[in-house]
Amino acid sequence: MADAGGKNKLTAALLAIFLGWIGAHHFYLGSSLAGIVCIAASWLTCGVGWLLAIVEGVLLLMMSDADFDAKYNQRVPEAMEFVFTGPKS
C-alpha cells in the first residue's frame, strides 16, 4: 500500500506490462535513465525489448508490499536501477 504521495505497486506493474516498451514504469518509479534504456532497447530490437518490461511487471506483482515500499517509497532509486536489480550497498 502506498503512503500519501508514494508510489503504488499495482500502478507500476500495469505501467510495466502495458507501457513498458517506453519505460513508463521506470519514469514512474524514479529511474529515468533505466526508462531511456528501455526505449532504446525496444527501438533497437524492433520491440523485443518489451519482453523485459513484461518480466519486470510480473516481478513487481510478485514483490511483497514491504519490499516494494522499502525499494521505492523509503528511498530514492538509482537512475539506472531496474526492478530485477537490488539497491547498491
Which range marks the domain in which residue 39 is found? 9-73
Tell me how many domains the chain contains. Answer: 1
| pLDDT given at position 28 | 96
pLDDT in tens, 15-73: 999 999 999 999 999 999 999 999 998 899 988 888 989 999 999 999 999 999 999 99
| pLDDT given at position 11 | 97
Q: Within a domain: residue 78? A: no
pLDDT band at 88 (very low <50, low <70, confident <90, very high): low
Question: Running DSSP on this structure, what letter comes out for residue 84?
Answer: T
Report the interhelical angle of 50-62 vs 9-19 (nearest 10°). 160
Q: Within a domain: residue 4? A: no
Q: Within a domain: residue 61? A: yes
3-state secondary structure of 61: helix
Q: Within a domain: residue 56? A: yes
| pLDDT given at position 75 | 86
Q: Within a domain: residue 33? A: yes
